[in-house]
Structure 1
Amino acid sequence: MKYRLALAAATVGFASMPASAEPVVAQAMAKPVGDRVIAALSRRLFPLFDTIGGDPAALDRVKAKPGVATMLAARAGRRTACAEDVTCIAQALVWTPSETSILAEATPQGISTADDGAAAQARREIEGINVILRTFGLSQVPRYPQIDGPGPIDPLETRARLQAADWLSRTPRAQSVQALDPSMDFALALLDVSDRTDAIGFDPLSGGLNAAAMKRARSLDWKRWRYSAMIVTGVGPETPDTALSPFGKYHVRLAADRFARGDIALIIVTGGRAHPRATRFTEAEQMRAALIERYGVPADAIVIEPYARHTTTNLRNATRFLATLGAPLDRDTLIVCNPGQSEAIASAAFVQRNLTELGYAPGQIGRRVSPTEVEFRPSPLSLRVDPRDPLDP
């Protein structure tokens, strides 16, 4: 608790430190240090601006584009006017629509692999910065308040996190875009000090629990199978000590029974660490363990997708995993889940939910084969990275 009581004093001391206090020789020779956690989070959430940060020439080209220097100067002036008010600073770092347009249009072409181009990806990443600033710094209620955002926290803790994020965003970090604008590093730091680095919790997905299945996938002849994969969706528990929800156990039984027919190449169990808030259990991991231990499904027939927090992203992330595995996206998969969720996935309302939350359909919902089975044809649109959901971009 002492750090909270001393926070104001520490702020003043940091701001008033004389320049002579820094070793002149060390300052001249030192290079910015790299932070492995923040670097991984940056690559995951902001792949376009992370690439620019690692290329000084690209950074200079962005800054030289018409209108950029004036816009960045106005943003810097807005921050300076806040003095040491960290809430004001967080608000000042939020990108306005006009600022977003200027920077997005200044992004070099060919620097992003997004299917809709660099400018569209830049807009998503800038909007992602805004979501993090507002949700984790300015107490805006997220779309799913029961599982997203920082949760209820003490106002002093909120201020401490904002102050730490401000300091961290001003402290040089290797390969960052701090020289352009500090907002991205402020947002990354906010997630870090809030202990919400969920988006990189299982990287790299090709190793660990997925290593055996990844090795097997390289030798698969996908044309041999009726379905390239079975997508087993999650239904998170609502009590903190429950590893696998009642519906989750049902999904596992359904998956084992369906896989035993032998016409599906592999199983993708998908579900993150979402229910209840800050649970220590990851749903995909628990479903995999149950399939192996209770039903004897071979480990090399199962991959975990441990990030999805919603049914929309169950399908989006499963599609991404299929691409990683080298599976053709022009072949059907089979979604297996309880009748209520299956009916919802097959509904017009779910189509609209995807458009509202993702901006596109992660694939084509096909026929409902049975009350617990729906065919699904994945879409390459799912490969777009979208940090507007910073816990699972």
Structure 2
Amino acid sequence: MVRRAALAAALMLATPAVAGAPQAVTQAPVGDRVTAALSARLFPLLDAVGADPAATARLTAQPQIAAMLAGRAARRTACTADLACLVQALVWTPEESATLAAALPAGLSHADDGAAAQALRETGGINTILRDYGLAQVPRYPQIDGAGPIDPLELRARVQAADWLARTPRARSAQAIDPSVDFALALLDGSDRTDAIGFDPLTGGRNAAATARARRLDWTRWHYTALILTGVGPETPDMPLSPYGKYHIRLAAERFARGDIATIIVTGGRAHPRATRFTEAEQMRQALIDRYGIPADAILIEPYARHTTTNLRNAARLLAAVGAPFDREALIVCNPGQSEMITSAAFAQRNQSELGYMPGRIGARLSPTEVEFRPSPSSLRIDPRDPLDP
């Protein structure tokens, strides 16, 4: 971690926060495909409002919103050359988040709990990115979250670039509402942590054939919609698949061979060790094909999850994407220790704490390695408070 004194010194170098910033241009702002995709993925509500000038105008014309945004602007202006102050000034206070949430039309979001709840998640996500990637605070999971240990001058460069980018017009952005969205996106991009869009669209690429097959299935013919194979990432650098992972794929191959499961979902992202070049779901998929002869179109990869909670949440999302019904059971397959943990009260509490809901109903534990699971529509909520897997 960057020490507090070194961080403060690095972020308070004499160069003004706006020195050398690009000058205003007269032509229409250009689009940035990477930033646009990341914005849509992390902040779908704010992104949609920002992309619609009329919606932006209606929002910012509301007196309470105008006053709140003016206060935020004054807070940023007061920071002058202090970059650490600027990052802190961009953080949304609980009162500001509540004001924004209350002003948004109720039907604007597709989230099952409405636009206000989604707005609070999105401002919370901005705050997480600002603190973890701009102020080098300790993230929730320090071993895999955040930027990791970096030189104070490199941190300053990332923050300064984020400030300049947030001031540079971008087509169809939320900048007219508040610069914190683009500042946060630039911090992630500058840290090379655009993980959240690494495999989009998820129903394409390696999932194209399996998606096409799944959308043709008569789900009533199968006892289980999917075999959900959870990940256990390696801790050794350059190890593609952990010893537990190899055990998991044997379990999956044996269970799938019974013929009563429609498809396999292998779930696990690029998490262990930090910023590994290997994506666990890809490695499990390839091993199932190469070692056990499982047809490629019977395997869907879920390549984003970094925790057991999100293994299940993201598997539910993938089932929805391929048209699987949520009123039928899937089957979780994993090692006995993880299986026991999934059925524990502690795991239920962890889901409530980290996600705010259960990603589905945990059903019967049929064996030491098999647990039934019925997905919940709540899993479709986008939550950028985990910006690498929202």
Interval of TM-score (by shorter of Structure 1 and Structure 2): over 0.9
| Among 205, 208, 215, the residue aligned to 2:205 | 208
Distance in 2 (CA, whole Å) between partners of 1:319 and 1:14 is 47
Please point out which of 52, 61, 66 is paired with 1:64.
Answer: 61
In the TM superposition, what is the alpha-carbon distance from 1:13 to its structure 2 partner?
4.5
What is the percentage of aligned positions where both structures have the same residue? Answer: 74
Contact 2:16 2:80 in 1 (8 A): no
Matched, 1:171 2:168: yes
Measure the CA separation in 1 of the matches of 2:176 and 2:45.
16
Task: Tell whether 2:251 aligns with 1:257.
Answer: no
Letter of the aligned partner of 2:279 in structure 1?
Answer: T
Q: Provide the secondary structure at the position in 2 that maps to 1:229.
A: strand
Instruction: Give the aligned partner of residue 139 of structure 2.
Output: 142
Q: Deviations over 1:117-145 (max 9, x none)?
A: 11110110011000000111111111110
CA gap of 1:352–1:9, structure 2 versus 1, over 3 A, is closer
Q: Return the alpha-carbon distance in structure 2 between the equivalents of residues 173 and 121 of structure 1.
A: 23
1:381 is aligned to 2:378: yes
TM-score, with structure 2 as normaliser: 0.95
Select 2:319's aligned residue among 314, 317, 322. Answer: 322
**What residue in structure 2 maps to residue 130 of structure 1?**
127
1:82 is the counterpart of 2:88: no
Mean Cα displacement is larger for which, 373-382 or 56-65? 56-65
Q: Which amino acid aligns with 1:299?
A: A
Residue 111 of structure 1, CA deviation: 1.4
Query: Is 1:303 matched up with 2:309?
Result: no
Confirm or deny that 1:14 pairs with 2:20: yes
Q: TM-score, normalised by structure 1?
A: 0.94
* Structure 2 letter corresponding to 1:293: D
Judging changes above 3 Å, is the alpha-carbon distance between structure 1 residues 322 and 114 closer, same or farther for their aligned structure 2 residues? same
**Is the partner of 1:84 in helix, strand or coil?**
coil
**Match for residue 235 of structure 2?**
238
3-state SS in 2 of match to 1:265: strand
Amino acid at match of 1:383: L
Deviation of the 1:109 alpha carbon: 2.5
Q: 1:338 to 1:10 in 2, by over 3 A?
A: same
1:375 partner SS: strand
Of residues 317, 331, 335, the one that matches 2:328 is: 331
Structure 2 unpaired stretches of 5+ = 1-9
Shift of 1:66: 3.2
* Partner amino acid, structure 1, of 2:110: T
Distance in 2 of aligned mates of 1:369 and 1:320: 24
Residue matched to 1:193: 190
Aligned length: 379
Q: CA RMSD in A?
A: 1.4
CA distance in 2, matches of 1:202, 1:341: 26
Q: Distance in 2 between matches of 1:40 and 1:352?
A: 33
2: CA distance between counterparts of 1:349 and 1:65? 44
CA pair 180-12 structure 1, distance change in 2 beyond 3 A: closer
Do the aligned partners of residues 37 and 70 (structure 1) sit closer, same or farther apart at CA in structure 2, a change above 3 Å counting? Answer: same
Say if 1:231 and 1:268, in contact at 8 Å, map to a contact too. Answer: yes
Cα pair distance change 1:224/1:12, threshold 3 Å: closer
Asked whether the 8 Å contact 2:18–2:164 carries over to 1, the reply is: no
Aligned partner of 1:338: which letter? Answer: N
Whole-angstrom distance in 2 between the partners of 1:125 and 1:382: 16
Instruction: Check 1:31–1:355 CA distance in 2 against 1; reply closer, same or farther (3 A cut).
Output: same
TM superposition shift of 1:263 = 0.2
The aligned residue for residue 178 of structure 2 is 181
For residues 365 and 77 of structure 1, the distance between their equivalents in structure 2, rounded to whole angstroms, comes to 49
Partner of 1:266: helix, strand, or coil?
Answer: strand
SS in 1 for 2:63: coil
Which runs of 4 or more aligned residues in structure 1 lie more than 4 Å from their structure 2 counterparts after TM superposition? 7-13
Letter in 1 for 2:386: D
Following the alignment from structure 1 to structure 2, what is the Cα–Cα distance between the partners of residues 139 and 316?
Answer: 28
Give the secondary structure class of the aligned counterpart of 1:110. Answer: helix
Q: Distance in 2 between matches of 1:356 and 1:391?
A: 18
Does the 8 Å contact 1:53/1:176 carry over to 2? yes
Equivalent position amino acid for 1:301 in 2: A
Please list the CA deviations of residues 77-133 of structure 1 after superposition, one character each: whole Å capped at 9, or x if unmatched.
Answer: 000000121111000000001111111111123211011111110110011000000
| SS of 2:260 mapped into structure 1 | coil
How far apart, in 1, do the equivalents of 2:266 and 2:36 lie?
28
Q: Distance in 1 between matches of 2:354 and 2:63?
A: 33
From 157, 160, 165, the counterpart of 2:157: 160
Give the CA deviation at 1:310: 0.1
Distance in 2 separating the partners of 1:213 and 1:8: 55
- 2:268 and 2:179 map into 1 onto residues whose CA distance is 33
CA contact (8 A) 1:62 1:108 kept: no
Contact 1:233/1:269, CA 8 A, preserved across alignment? yes
Q: Is the 8 A contact 2:280 2:303 kept in 1?
A: yes
Whole-Å Cα distance in 2 between the matches of residues 75 and 255 of structure 1? Answer: 52
How far apart, in 1, do the equivalents of 2:183 and 2:346 lie?
Answer: 37
Residue matched to 1:36? 33
Shift of 1:11: 5.8
2:101 to 101, 104, 108: 104
Q: Distance in 1 between matches of 2:216 and 2:18?
A: 62
